[in-house]
Amino acid sequence: MASCRHVINGALRKLGRLGGGREPRTADAADALAALQGLYLSWIASGAFGRLRDVIAEADITAIEGCRIIRDETVVTVTLPEVVPAYCDPLPYNLERDYYTTNPVDSNNRPPRDGSVIQIKDTVGGQVASYVYDGTLREWVQIEMLQMDNEAPRSVTDPEGLSATLAMELADTFGAEIGPTTLRQAGRYTTAMINNPSAPRREAVGVYF
């Protein structure tokens, strides 16, 4: 795994803004951390980690992966899952409805998929909490709460690629040019992230007219 600091320092070096063995200025580090959080959030919004299903929670629930849960935070508690039922591959509407009604126990459970997402939106105040599951850490990481010394989600597969992708986001901010190697690394990372070839194949549901 690579910390956010490692990813950010790597990105700034690729832009020629940081020498070897040095730490960035506080303002540069803060800008880069905000850009890294923005990258993850943009991937969630674009569906790079998969589509999200909207679920209105009217009672305490244990979430499943791939859901955007809308709740009144004053009365509803959402628990992030350590395992999910195997029948979530994929989850038809009637099972999704039953799951959130009764939370059935399935003996054939599995860990959440690496890179899966759960978002929680509070109707009072409008706060949003975005969680990405890191299969190496075996935990849900809240993107909005990332700090410099936290592990960067999905960094274990290709930390240089993640740094290169961040460098592309920061290039205009720092007025820097992107080199061809950085472009290749960023392209390699985003392709692997979207396709996620290391995860088990997930069958799609056919829709016919």
Q: Which residues contact 132 (CB under 8 A, 6 or more apart)?
A: 40, 44, 49, 115, 116, 117, 140, 141, 143, 153, 154
CA distance readout (Å), 189 to 72, 89, 129, 136, 160: 37, 25, 25, 17, 8
The mean per-residue pLDDT over the stretch 121-129 comes to: 90
Task: Name which residue leads in pLDDT, 5 or 64.
Answer: 5
The mean per-residue pLDDT over the stretch 177-194 comes to: 92
The mean per-residue pLDDT over the stretch 140-150 comes to: 96
For residue 197, name the pLDDT band (cuts at 50, 70, 90).
low
Task: Name which residue leads in pLDDT, 50 or 163.
Answer: 163
Q: What is the mean pLDDT of the chain?
A: 84
Q: In the chain, what are the domain boundaries?
A: 4-48+152-195, 53-140
Residue 8, pLDDT above cutoff 70 = yes
pLDDT in the model for residue 72: 83
